[in-house]
Amino acid sequence: MGFAKALKCRECGKEYEKQPINICEWCFGPLEVVYDYDGIRKVMTRAHIQRGPHNLWRYRELLPVEDGPVIDMHAGMTPLVRADNLGRMLGLENLYIKNDCVNPTYSFKDRVVAVASTVARQMGFDTLACASTGNLAGSVAAHAAKAGMKAFVFIPADLEKVKIVGASIYGPTVVAVNGNYDEVNRLCSEVADNFNWAFVNINVRPFYAEGSKTLGYEVAEQLGWRAPDNVIVPVASGSLLTKVWKGFNEFKDIGLIDQVQTRVHMVQPQGCSPVVTAFSEGVMDVRPVKPNTIAKSLAIGNPADGYYALKVLKDSKGTATAVTDNEVIEGIKLLAETEGIFGETAAGVVISGLRRLALSGAIKPKELTVVYVTGNGLKTQEVVEDTVRPLVVQPTLASFKKALESK
Protein backbone atom coordinates (compact mmCIF):
# COMPACT_ATOMS: atom_id res chain seq x y z
CA MET A 1 0.00 0.00 0.00
CA GLY A 2 2.84 2.50 0.51
CA PHE A 3 2.92 5.03 3.34
CA ALA A 4 1.47 8.10 1.60
CA LYS A 5 -1.89 8.63 3.29
CA ALA A 6 -3.55 11.57 1.62
CA LEU A 7 -3.18 15.00 0.07
CA LYS A 8 -3.39 18.04 2.32
CA CYS A 9 -3.78 21.73 1.51
CA ARG A 10 -0.73 23.72 2.57
CA GLU A 11 -2.93 26.72 3.30
CA CYS A 12 -6.20 25.60 4.91
CA GLY A 13 -5.22 22.04 5.90
CA LYS A 14 -8.18 20.35 4.18
CA GLU A 15 -7.38 16.71 3.34
CA TYR A 16 -8.19 14.80 0.16
CA GLU A 17 -7.88 11.17 -0.87
CA LYS A 18 -4.86 10.50 -3.08
CA GLN A 19 -5.88 11.51 -6.59
CA PRO A 20 -4.49 13.50 -9.52
CA ILE A 21 -5.25 17.02 -8.28
CA ASN A 22 -2.92 19.80 -7.20
CA ILE A 23 -5.20 22.58 -5.97
CA CYS A 24 -7.46 22.65 -2.92
CA GLU A 25 -11.10 22.91 -4.04
CA TRP A 26 -11.87 24.96 -0.95
CA CYS A 27 -9.24 27.73 -0.89
CA PHE A 28 -7.31 27.04 -4.12
CA GLY A 29 -4.11 26.51 -2.11
CA PRO A 30 -1.48 23.97 -3.24
CA LEU A 31 -1.73 20.36 -2.08
CA GLU A 32 1.03 18.28 -0.54
CA VAL A 33 1.37 14.56 0.21
CA VAL A 34 1.09 13.49 3.86
CA TYR A 35 2.51 10.22 5.16
CA ASP A 36 2.05 7.70 7.92
CA TYR A 37 5.35 8.55 9.64
CA ASP A 38 4.69 6.15 12.55
CA GLY A 39 4.49 3.31 10.05
CA ILE A 40 7.59 4.49 8.20
CA ARG A 41 9.57 4.76 11.45
CA LYS A 42 8.94 1.07 12.12
CA VAL A 43 10.49 -0.16 8.88
CA MET A 44 12.87 2.50 7.61
CA THR A 45 16.18 2.04 9.39
CA ARG A 46 19.64 2.92 8.09
CA ALA A 47 20.32 -0.77 7.44
CA HIS A 48 17.03 -1.14 5.57
CA ILE A 49 17.95 1.76 3.29
CA GLN A 50 21.48 0.44 2.72
CA ARG A 51 20.07 -2.92 1.62
CA GLY A 52 17.94 -1.16 -0.99
CA PRO A 53 18.76 -0.47 -4.64
CA HIS A 54 21.59 1.94 -5.46
CA ASN A 55 19.18 4.60 -6.73
CA LEU A 56 16.40 6.82 -5.38
CA TRP A 57 14.04 3.88 -4.86
CA ARG A 58 16.02 2.95 -1.73
CA TYR A 59 13.84 5.66 -0.10
CA ARG A 60 10.54 4.43 -1.53
CA GLU A 61 8.80 4.37 1.88
CA LEU A 62 9.12 8.18 1.92
CA LEU A 63 7.89 8.55 -1.67
CA PRO A 64 4.19 8.66 -2.60
CA VAL A 65 4.06 5.40 -4.55
CA GLU A 66 2.04 2.26 -3.94
CA ASP A 67 3.51 -1.22 -3.66
CA GLY A 68 4.52 -2.90 -6.89
CA PRO A 69 6.81 -2.12 -9.80
CA VAL A 70 8.20 1.38 -10.29
CA ILE A 71 9.50 3.14 -13.40
CA ASP A 72 13.17 2.60 -12.71
CA MET A 73 15.79 4.25 -14.91
CA HIS A 74 18.27 4.26 -12.02
CA ALA A 75 17.88 7.92 -11.22
CA GLY A 76 19.53 9.10 -8.04
CA MET A 77 22.41 8.01 -5.80
CA THR A 78 24.55 10.38 -7.84
CA PRO A 79 28.06 11.17 -6.58
CA LEU A 80 28.67 13.51 -3.66
CA VAL A 81 32.10 14.77 -4.59
CA ARG A 82 34.53 16.33 -2.12
CA ALA A 83 35.55 19.56 -3.88
CA ASP A 84 38.99 20.34 -2.43
CA ASN A 85 40.26 22.28 -5.46
CA LEU A 86 37.27 24.60 -5.62
CA GLY A 87 37.24 24.80 -1.83
CA ARG A 88 40.89 25.95 -1.75
CA MET A 89 40.13 28.74 -4.21
CA LEU A 90 37.22 29.95 -2.11
CA GLY A 91 38.79 29.38 1.31
CA LEU A 92 36.39 26.55 2.22
CA GLU A 93 37.79 23.42 3.86
CA ASN A 94 34.73 21.22 3.81
CA LEU A 95 33.04 21.65 0.44
CA TYR A 96 31.07 19.04 -1.51
CA ILE A 97 29.33 19.02 -4.89
CA LYS A 98 26.20 16.90 -5.29
CA ASN A 99 26.66 16.00 -8.95
CA ASP A 100 23.22 15.40 -10.45
CA CYS A 101 24.58 15.86 -13.99
CA VAL A 102 24.94 12.09 -14.20
CA ASN A 103 21.30 11.08 -13.92
CA PRO A 104 19.81 9.05 -16.81
CA THR A 105 18.78 12.14 -18.77
CA TYR A 106 21.48 14.30 -17.19
CA SER A 107 19.51 16.40 -14.74
CA PHE A 108 17.78 16.19 -11.36
CA LYS A 109 14.43 16.15 -13.15
CA ASP A 110 14.78 12.38 -13.40
CA ARG A 111 14.07 12.25 -9.67
CA VAL A 112 10.72 14.00 -9.89
CA VAL A 113 9.72 12.31 -13.11
CA ALA A 114 10.60 8.85 -11.76
CA VAL A 115 8.03 9.43 -9.03
CA ALA A 116 5.48 11.18 -11.28
CA SER A 117 5.60 8.49 -13.96
CA THR A 118 5.27 5.70 -11.40
CA VAL A 119 2.31 7.39 -9.70
CA ALA A 120 0.72 8.15 -13.08
CA ARG A 121 0.90 4.52 -14.14
CA GLN A 122 -0.39 3.32 -10.77
CA MET A 123 -3.34 5.73 -11.14
CA GLY A 124 -4.14 4.25 -14.54
CA PHE A 125 -2.94 7.03 -16.86
CA ASP A 126 -1.53 6.02 -20.24
CA THR A 127 -0.07 9.45 -21.14
CA LEU A 128 2.56 11.65 -19.50
CA ALA A 129 2.82 15.33 -20.41
CA CYS A 130 4.81 18.42 -19.54
CA ALA A 131 5.73 21.90 -20.75
CA SER A 132 9.43 22.55 -20.75
CA THR A 133 12.35 24.38 -22.27
CA GLY A 134 14.79 21.53 -21.75
CA ASN A 135 15.53 19.22 -18.82
CA LEU A 136 11.98 18.25 -17.91
CA ALA A 137 11.05 17.54 -21.52
CA GLY A 138 13.87 15.02 -21.91
CA SER A 139 13.13 13.32 -18.63
CA VAL A 140 9.38 12.98 -19.25
CA ALA A 141 9.95 11.63 -22.76
CA ALA A 142 12.56 9.11 -21.57
CA HIS A 143 10.49 7.86 -18.63
CA ALA A 144 7.41 7.51 -20.83
CA ALA A 145 9.50 5.44 -23.25
CA LYS A 146 10.74 3.21 -20.43
CA ALA A 147 7.22 2.87 -19.01
CA GLY A 148 5.60 2.15 -22.37
CA MET A 149 3.42 5.24 -21.96
CA LYS A 150 2.56 7.92 -24.50
CA ALA A 151 4.14 11.33 -24.01
CA PHE A 152 3.26 14.88 -25.03
CA VAL A 153 5.91 17.52 -24.59
CA PHE A 154 5.00 21.19 -25.13
CA ILE A 155 7.84 23.52 -26.05
CA PRO A 156 8.10 27.12 -27.23
CA ALA A 157 8.46 27.05 -31.04
CA ASP A 158 11.70 29.06 -30.90
CA LEU A 159 13.50 26.57 -28.63
CA GLU A 160 17.09 25.73 -29.64
CA LYS A 161 17.29 22.70 -31.94
CA VAL A 162 19.65 20.79 -29.66
CA LYS A 163 17.05 20.89 -26.89
CA ILE A 164 14.26 19.76 -29.22
CA VAL A 165 16.42 16.80 -30.25
CA GLY A 166 17.15 16.04 -26.58
CA ALA A 167 13.48 15.35 -25.99
CA SER A 168 12.36 14.14 -29.43
CA ILE A 169 14.81 11.26 -29.56
CA TYR A 170 12.75 9.32 -26.99
CA GLY A 171 9.70 9.34 -29.29
CA PRO A 172 7.18 11.65 -27.63
CA THR A 173 4.78 13.89 -29.52
CA VAL A 174 6.56 17.22 -29.38
CA VAL A 175 4.21 20.18 -29.66
CA ALA A 176 5.97 23.39 -30.65
CA VAL A 177 3.74 26.29 -29.60
CA ASN A 178 3.87 29.51 -31.60
CA GLY A 179 3.45 31.88 -28.72
CA ASN A 180 5.27 33.67 -25.96
CA TYR A 181 6.07 32.17 -22.59
CA ASP A 182 2.79 33.27 -20.97
CA GLU A 183 0.77 31.90 -23.87
CA VAL A 184 2.47 28.50 -23.62
CA ASN A 185 1.63 28.46 -19.91
CA ARG A 186 -1.98 29.32 -20.58
CA LEU A 187 -2.38 26.70 -23.30
CA CYS A 188 -0.91 23.95 -21.09
CA SER A 189 -3.22 24.85 -18.27
CA GLU A 190 -6.18 24.47 -20.65
CA VAL A 191 -4.82 21.22 -22.10
CA ALA A 192 -4.49 19.78 -18.61
CA ASP A 193 -8.14 20.63 -17.91
CA ASN A 194 -9.35 19.04 -21.14
CA PHE A 195 -7.35 15.82 -21.52
CA ASN A 196 -7.13 12.89 -19.16
CA TRP A 197 -3.34 12.90 -19.00
CA ALA A 198 -0.84 12.93 -16.18
CA PHE A 199 0.60 16.41 -16.65
CA VAL A 200 3.61 16.02 -14.39
CA ASN A 201 3.75 19.54 -12.99
CA ILE A 202 0.01 20.19 -12.99
CA ASN A 203 -2.40 17.49 -11.86
CA VAL A 204 0.25 15.12 -10.44
CA ARG A 205 2.48 17.94 -9.15
CA PRO A 206 2.08 17.08 -5.43
CA PHE A 207 3.48 13.59 -6.13
CA TYR A 208 6.06 14.72 -8.69
CA ALA A 209 7.56 17.33 -6.38
CA GLU A 210 8.23 14.72 -3.67
CA GLY A 211 10.95 13.17 -5.85
CA SER A 212 13.23 16.11 -5.03
CA LYS A 213 13.33 15.10 -1.37
CA THR A 214 15.76 12.37 -2.39
CA LEU A 215 18.38 15.11 -2.93
CA GLY A 216 18.14 15.73 0.80
CA TYR A 217 18.11 12.04 1.79
CA GLU A 218 21.09 11.11 -0.36
CA VAL A 219 23.29 13.93 0.84
CA ALA A 220 22.54 13.05 4.47
CA GLU A 221 23.28 9.37 3.87
CA GLN A 222 26.42 10.03 1.81
CA LEU A 223 27.77 12.32 4.52
CA GLY A 224 27.53 9.43 7.00
CA TRP A 225 24.00 10.12 8.25
CA ARG A 226 24.17 13.81 9.00
CA ALA A 227 22.77 17.01 7.52
CA PRO A 228 25.31 19.55 6.24
CA ASP A 229 25.82 23.01 7.78
CA ASN A 230 24.98 24.77 4.51
CA VAL A 231 23.32 23.85 1.25
CA ILE A 232 23.36 26.05 -1.86
CA VAL A 233 20.32 25.44 -4.06
CA PRO A 234 19.28 26.96 -7.39
CA VAL A 235 15.74 28.29 -7.44
CA ALA A 236 13.27 28.29 -10.33
CA SER A 237 9.80 27.39 -8.98
CA GLY A 238 11.28 27.01 -5.47
CA SER A 239 10.05 23.43 -5.16
CA LEU A 240 13.52 21.80 -5.13
CA LEU A 241 14.68 23.99 -2.26
CA THR A 242 11.64 23.27 -0.12
CA LYS A 243 11.94 19.54 -0.75
CA VAL A 244 15.64 19.34 0.13
CA TRP A 245 14.73 20.94 3.44
CA LYS A 246 11.76 18.60 3.87
CA GLY A 247 14.05 15.64 3.13
CA PHE A 248 16.50 16.52 5.92
CA ASN A 249 13.68 17.13 8.38
CA GLU A 250 11.89 13.89 7.56
CA PHE A 251 15.14 12.00 8.15
CA LYS A 252 15.41 13.67 11.55
CA ASP A 253 11.76 13.04 12.40
CA ILE A 254 11.99 9.33 11.71
CA GLY A 255 15.28 9.07 13.61
CA LEU A 256 17.76 8.51 10.78
CA ILE A 257 19.82 11.62 11.61
CA ASP A 258 20.19 13.45 14.91
CA GLN A 259 19.61 17.06 14.01
CA VAL A 260 19.11 19.54 11.19
CA GLN A 261 21.00 22.77 11.69
CA THR A 262 21.37 23.37 7.99
CA ARG A 263 21.25 26.89 6.58
CA VAL A 264 19.55 26.82 3.20
CA HIS A 265 20.92 29.36 0.72
CA MET A 266 19.08 30.11 -2.52
CA VAL A 267 20.61 31.50 -5.68
CA GLN A 268 18.80 32.85 -8.75
CA PRO A 269 20.02 34.51 -11.94
CA GLN A 270 19.58 38.27 -11.72
CA GLY A 271 17.44 38.27 -14.88
CA CYS A 272 14.87 36.09 -13.14
CA SER A 273 15.15 36.57 -9.40
CA PRO A 274 11.67 37.29 -8.02
CA VAL A 275 12.22 35.20 -4.89
CA VAL A 276 15.59 36.80 -4.10
CA THR A 277 13.99 40.22 -4.57
CA ALA A 278 11.23 39.38 -2.10
CA PHE A 279 13.82 38.12 0.41
CA SER A 280 15.91 41.29 0.01
CA GLU A 281 12.83 43.46 0.57
CA GLY A 282 11.84 41.45 3.62
CA VAL A 283 8.43 40.51 2.22
CA MET A 284 6.83 37.11 1.74
CA ASP A 285 4.96 38.02 -1.46
CA VAL A 286 6.78 37.14 -4.64
CA ARG A 287 6.06 39.59 -7.45
CA PRO A 288 6.14 37.80 -10.84
CA VAL A 289 8.75 38.99 -13.35
CA LYS A 290 9.43 38.52 -17.05
CA PRO A 291 12.50 36.25 -17.27
CA ASN A 292 15.55 37.58 -19.10
CA THR A 293 18.55 35.36 -18.43
CA ILE A 294 20.80 32.81 -20.10
CA ALA A 295 19.96 30.42 -17.25
CA LYS A 296 16.88 29.09 -19.04
CA SER A 297 16.45 26.16 -16.66
CA LEU A 298 15.77 28.69 -13.87
CA ALA A 299 13.64 31.09 -15.92
CA ILE A 300 10.35 30.84 -14.06
CA GLY A 301 8.92 34.32 -13.65
CA ASN A 302 5.97 33.28 -11.50
CA PRO A 303 7.33 30.63 -9.13
CA ALA A 304 4.66 28.36 -7.64
CA ASP A 305 6.65 27.69 -4.47
CA GLY A 306 8.35 31.05 -4.01
CA TYR A 307 6.48 31.77 -0.79
CA TYR A 308 7.34 28.36 0.68
CA ALA A 309 10.99 28.74 -0.34
CA LEU A 310 11.09 32.06 1.52
CA LYS A 311 9.66 30.31 4.59
CA VAL A 312 12.49 27.75 4.45
CA LEU A 313 15.06 30.56 4.32
CA LYS A 314 13.44 32.14 7.33
CA ASP A 315 13.25 28.86 9.29
CA SER A 316 16.80 27.82 8.43
CA LYS A 317 18.38 31.30 8.76
CA GLY A 318 19.49 31.07 5.14
CA THR A 319 20.30 33.70 2.55
CA ALA A 320 19.28 34.66 -0.99
CA THR A 321 21.68 35.76 -3.72
CA ALA A 322 21.24 36.82 -7.34
CA VAL A 323 24.11 36.55 -9.82
CA THR A 324 24.63 38.15 -13.23
CA ASP A 325 24.74 36.23 -16.52
CA ASN A 326 28.50 36.87 -16.68
CA GLU A 327 28.87 35.25 -13.30
CA VAL A 328 26.84 32.29 -14.57
CA ILE A 329 29.45 31.69 -17.27
CA GLU A 330 32.32 32.23 -14.81
CA GLY A 331 30.69 29.77 -12.43
CA ILE A 332 30.36 27.07 -15.11
CA LYS A 333 34.04 27.49 -16.01
CA LEU A 334 35.21 27.61 -12.41
CA LEU A 335 33.50 24.32 -11.57
CA ALA A 336 34.76 22.64 -14.73
CA GLU A 337 38.35 23.86 -14.31
CA THR A 338 38.63 22.99 -10.61
CA GLU A 339 36.56 19.84 -10.22
CA GLY A 340 36.16 18.47 -13.73
CA ILE A 341 32.38 18.80 -13.61
CA PHE A 342 30.65 20.46 -16.56
CA GLY A 343 27.34 21.76 -15.27
CA GLU A 344 24.66 23.65 -17.14
CA THR A 345 23.68 27.25 -16.46
CA ALA A 346 21.99 26.46 -13.13
CA ALA A 347 25.38 25.12 -11.99
CA GLY A 348 27.00 28.40 -12.97
CA VAL A 349 24.36 30.16 -10.88
CA VAL A 350 25.01 28.17 -7.71
CA ILE A 351 28.80 28.16 -8.02
CA SER A 352 28.87 31.95 -8.44
CA GLY A 353 26.43 32.24 -5.56
CA LEU A 354 28.73 30.05 -3.47
CA ARG A 355 31.68 32.25 -4.36
CA ARG A 356 29.83 35.34 -3.18
CA LEU A 357 28.79 33.66 0.07
CA ALA A 358 32.32 32.43 0.75
CA LEU A 359 33.95 35.78 0.00
CA SER A 360 31.43 37.68 2.12
CA GLY A 361 31.99 35.35 5.07
CA ALA A 362 28.37 34.19 5.10
CA ILE A 363 29.77 30.64 4.89
CA LYS A 364 32.61 29.89 7.30
CA PRO A 365 35.70 27.93 6.16
CA LYS A 366 35.20 24.90 8.38
CA GLU A 367 31.46 24.50 7.83
CA LEU A 368 30.31 21.49 5.86
CA THR A 369 28.81 22.94 2.71
CA VAL A 370 27.03 21.13 -0.13
CA VAL A 371 26.30 22.70 -3.50
CA TYR A 372 23.60 21.19 -5.69
CA VAL A 373 24.64 20.93 -9.35
CA THR A 374 21.40 19.93 -11.03
CA GLY A 375 22.08 19.55 -14.74
CA ASN A 376 24.71 18.69 -17.33
CA GLY A 377 26.66 21.35 -19.22
CA LEU A 378 26.47 19.46 -22.50
CA LYS A 379 22.88 20.70 -22.70
CA THR A 380 23.77 24.40 -22.66
CA GLN A 381 27.06 24.50 -24.53
CA GLU A 382 25.95 27.56 -26.48
CA VAL A 383 26.45 29.84 -23.47
CA VAL A 384 30.16 29.02 -23.15
CA GLU A 385 31.11 28.37 -26.79
CA ASP A 386 32.62 31.86 -27.18
CA THR A 387 35.03 31.20 -24.31
CA VAL A 388 36.66 28.23 -26.06
CA ARG A 389 39.92 29.09 -27.82
CA PRO A 390 41.93 26.12 -29.10
CA LEU A 391 45.58 26.51 -30.14
CA VAL A 392 45.50 26.43 -33.94
CA VAL A 393 48.71 25.02 -35.48
CA GLN A 394 50.11 23.79 -38.76
CA PRO A 395 50.93 20.06 -38.83
CA THR A 396 54.58 20.69 -37.93
CA LEU A 397 56.46 20.49 -34.65
CA ALA A 398 57.84 24.00 -35.21
CA SER A 399 54.35 25.44 -35.52
CA PHE A 400 53.25 23.62 -32.39
CA LYS A 401 56.27 24.89 -30.41
CA LYS A 402 55.63 28.42 -31.59
CA ALA A 403 51.99 28.22 -30.58
CA LEU A 404 52.99 26.90 -27.14
CA GLU A 405 55.39 29.80 -26.62
CA SER A 406 52.76 32.38 -27.50
CA LYS A 407 50.14 30.80 -25.24
Partner 1 sequence: MKTRVKFTFPAEKVEEPVIYLLGITFDVVTNIRRAEVSDVQGWVVLELEGSEKDIKRGLDWVRSKGVRVDPLGGDIVAG
Stretch 93-122 residues interacting with partner 1 (CB under 8 A): 109
Q: Is 364 exposed, middle or buried (0-12, 13-18, 19+ CB in 10 A)?
A: middle
Nearer to partner 1, 283 or 359 (CB): 283
Nearer to partner 1, 3 or 154 (CB): 154
Residue 42 interacts with partner 1 (CB under 8 A): yes or no:
no
109: alpha, beta or left? (left if phi > 0; alpha if psi -120 to 50): alpha
Q: Which spans in 44-94 are helix H? A: 46-50, 84-90
18: number of CA atoms within 13 Å, CB side? Answer: 19
What x/- string results for residues 55 through 94 when contact with partner 1 is judged by CB under 8 A? Answer: ----------------------------------------
Across the beta sheet with 15-16, what order do the strands follow?
15-16, 4-9, 31-35
Helix (H) / strand (E) containing 153: strand 150-156
Q: Are 147 and 124 in contact (CB under 8 A)?
A: no
Instruction: Give Cβ neighbours of residue 128 (< 8 Å, ≥ 6 apart).
Output: 113, 116, 117, 120, 140, 143, 144, 147, 149, 150, 151, 152, 197, 198, 200
Residue 38 C-beta: closest distance to partner 1, Å: 31
Residue 81 C-beta: closest distance to partner 1, Å: 23
What x/- string results for residues 320 through 359 when contact with partner 1 is judged by CB under 8 A? Answer: --------------------------x-------------
Residue 303 interacts with partner 1 (CB under 8 A): yes or no:
yes
DSSP 255-278: TSSS---PEEEEEEEGGG-HHHHH
Out of 236, 241, 244, 313, name the contact with partner 1 by CB under 8 A. Answer: 236
Out of 305, 325, 327, 339, name the contact with partner 1 by CB under 8 A. Answer: 305
What x/- string results for residues 278 through 297 when contact with partner 1 is judged by CB under 8 A? Answer: ---x-x-x-xx-------xx
Residue 131 interacts with partner 1 (CB under 8 A): yes or no:
yes
The residues of the shown chain that bind partner 1, judged by CB under 8 A, are 11, 22-23, 26-30, 109, 130-136, 154, 156, 181, 184-186, 188-189, 192, 199, 201-202, 205, 236-237, 281, 283, 285, 287-288, 296-306, 346, 375
